[in-house]
Amino acid sequence: MQDLTFTHEVAERATGNTKLAITGVVASGNLEVLVERALPEKQCVVKIRTTVRGFDPVWKAVVDGFVERFPTGGLRFSINDGGARPDTVSLRLSQALRLMEKTEQ
Amino acid sequence: MSVSTNTAPQATGARQVSWYEASARTRVSQLLDESSFKEFLGPQEREMSPNLKSFDLPEQFDDGMIVGRGLIKRMPVFVAAQEGRFMGGAFGEVHGAKLTGLLRASRDIGSIPVLILFDTGGVRLQEANAGELAIAEIMRAVIEARIAGVSVIGLIGGRAGCYGGGGLIAGCCSALAVSEQGRISVSGPEVIETNRGVEEFDSKDRALVWRTMGGKHRRLIGGTDAFVDDTIEDFRETALSLLADTRPFTLQTLHEEQARLEWRIQQFGTSADAIDIWRSMGVDDAAAIPEMTYAQFTAAAQKIRRPNHAAR
């Protein structure tokens, strides 16, 4: 297993007010993403535990791209990865963010 | 706190999705009344297996077991759901303890039934002893809940089936509902083949696996109380009708269950194949059973003399 943490200072707070969301399952080629609205508004943290070692630059590229494309301020993403491909990781991150964008009464 | 999860909104037809294909979280949220589910020890608590680390294996935030309470047509229920895609839905220390705790709460409260959404290959091998102990604790907790007057209903239709200790726990439930895709057994196909040889059971023969362990066979021989279509809606309706029809659990129930199982082995114990059993039960076209649609099968199953399902 390998642990990775990426911390970004971001310009925009993530929209919506959902506190907590989860998507995906830990299985071969799949991953789960847990999101919590738990950080200062200008910060985004992505914490990863992965079964596959040595892909740090790929993870960095996927997370950089994600944080660049979407407003993610205030969110902490925690990932348990079962060896997903980069496109699956991007998909799950976007799904998780979409869930947080809901506005709960 | 409720966890947001990606499930289609419960508008028209949302509950028509396949139970088999759905994740455990989708099953729970669509089985229950909209937004009524409140999870205990949710993923944000990170109550994960203490044992997987030493095997360098990935963990899941809910350890593959989702427990909580909710409403089904406004009736309060406790719910436990296994995620069959995480380690085959297998029972480990934390995974099992979450179900044990839920069942003990239902026993203490005495008036809220429990729905168990099985999807499991049995005990998680990496947590062997803890997993086996969990199975024993859960079986005891099911029985104690039932003695206290609580119905414990098993719903089976996931891709991992209901195997190993999961099959034993299912055998302790007040009632079971199974879909065609659901399989119930203790030893799985590969286990039987490994131990007894390919002549005894060819695990590669999928048709054999399904007609020996699948939902249709379980329905015909009285191994399950209800046969359901593979939609969340049908599981929901069936769970409701099973909840409405529960009998007290006494020593007399156990005697009757023993007699029922003895009768079954006397009747069918020498049959070499499930098709022989169906034929001897009076199914007109026994060989056609595996190919039948849900509607055709339900009609055929209703025609035959129903084996005694009553005891449990």
Q: How far apart are CA A94 and CA A99, in angstroms?
A: 9
Q: What's the CATH number where B54 sits?
A: 3.90.226.10
- Residue A23 and residue B53: Cβ atoms within 8 Å? no
For chain B, positions 216-275, list CB contacts with chain A under 8 A. Answer: none
Chain A hits for B4, CB-CB cut-off 8 Å, are 18, 20-22, 99-100, 102
Chain B: nearest CA to A23, how far in angstroms? 6
Instruction: Find the CB nearest A82 among B4, B43, B58.
Output: B58
Chain A: nearest CA to B193, how far in angstroms? 25
Q: How far apart are CA B287 and CA B280, in angstroms?
A: 12
Q: Does residue B63 lie within any of the structural domains?
A: yes
- Residue B6 and residue A26: Cβ atoms within 8 Å? no
Q: Does residue B219 lie within any of the structural domains?
A: no
Question: B77 has which bridge partners?
Answer: B70
Q: Does residue B215 lie within any of the structural domains?
A: no
Q: Does residue B31 lie within any of the structural domains?
A: yes
Could you give the C-alpha distances from B143 to B22, B137, B152, B255, in angstroms and in order?
29, 10, 9, 15
pLDDT band at B4 (very low <50, low <70, confident <90, very high): confident
ipTM of the complex: 0.95
Span of A34-43, A85-94, B99-108, B219-228 with lowest mean pLDDT: B219-228
Q: How far apart are CA B243 and CA A89, in angstroms?
A: 41
The pLDDT of residue B145? 98
The answer to whether A88 touches A30, Cβ cutoff 8 Å, is yes
**Is 90 exceeded by the pLDDT of residue B304?**
no
The answer to whether B299 touches B216, Cβ cutoff 8 Å, is no
Residue of A nearest to B53 (CA): A1
Structure-token pair, residue B24: 């455990």
A101 touches chain B (CB under 8 A): no
Q: How far apart are CA B207 and CA A16, in angstroms?
A: 49
* Domain assignments of chain A as residue spans, ordered by start: 2-100
B136 touches chain A (CB under 8 A): no
Smallest Cα–Cα separation from A37: which of A90, A101, A105, A89? Answer: A101
> How many A-B residue pairs are in contact by the CB < 8 A criterion?
62
The pLDDT of residue B90? 97
A51 touches chain B (CB under 8 A): yes
pLDDT in tens, B219-258: 999 899 999 999 999 999 999 999 998 788 999 999 999 9
Instruction: Find the CB nearest A99 among B4, B43, B86.
Output: B4
Residue of A nearest to B85 (CA): A27
B37 DSSP assignment? -
Chain B hits for A80, CB-CB cut-off 8 Å, are 58-61
Smallest Cα–Cα separation from B122: which of B104, B141, B95? Answer: B95
Structure-token pair, residue B166: 């999961």
Q: What is the mean pLDDT of residues B94-108?
A: 98
How many distinct structural domains can be found in chain B?
Answer: 1
pLDDT in tens, A50-83: 999 999 999 999 999 999 999 999 999 999 999 9
- Residue B6 and residue A80: Cβ atoms within 8 Å? no
Q: How long, in residues, is chain B?
A: 312
- Residue A98 and residue B6: Cβ atoms within 8 Å? yes
Q: How far apart are CA A18 and CA A7, in angstroms?
A: 21
- Residue B86 and residue A25: Cβ atoms within 8 Å? yes
Alpha helices, DSSP H, located in B60-127: 93-109
A60 touches chain B (CB under 8 A): no
Q: How far apart are CA B24 and CA B26, in angstroms?
A: 5
Q: Does residue B204 lie within any of the structural domains?
A: no
Q: What is the mean pLDDT of residues B12-36?
A: 92
Range of the domain at B172: 15-184+224-248
Alpha helices, DSSP H, located in B222-273: 232-244, 251-268
**Is 80 exceeded by the pLDDT of residue B14?**
no
Instruction: Find the CB nearest B44 among A30, A34, A95.
Output: A34
Q: How far apart are CA A27 and CA A20, in angstroms?
A: 22
A36 touches chain B (CB under 8 A): yes
Instruction: Find the CB nearest B6 among A26, A50, A99.
Output: A99
B32 DSSP assignment? S
- Residue B86 and residue A36: Cβ atoms within 8 Å? no
Q: How far apart are CA A76 and CA A81, in angstroms?
A: 16
The pLDDT of residue B309? 60
The answer to whether B156 touches B120, Cβ cutoff 8 Å, is no
The pLDDT of residue B44? 97
Chain B hits for A25, CB-CB cut-off 8 Å, are 23, 60, 83, 85-86
Q: What is the mean pLDDT of residues B264-269?
A: 91
Q: Does residue B275 lie within any of the structural domains?
A: no
Q: How would DSSP label each residue in B131-177? A: HHHHHHHHHHHHHHHHHTT--EEEEE-STT-B-THHHHHHHHSSEEE
pLDDT in tens, B121-161: 999 999 999 999 999 999 999 999 999 999 999 999 999 99
Q: Does residue B311 lie within any of the structural domains?
A: no
Chain A hits for B53, CB-CB cut-off 8 Å, are 1
Q: Does residue B194 lie within any of the structural domains?
A: no
Chain A: nearest CA to B88, how far in angstroms? 9
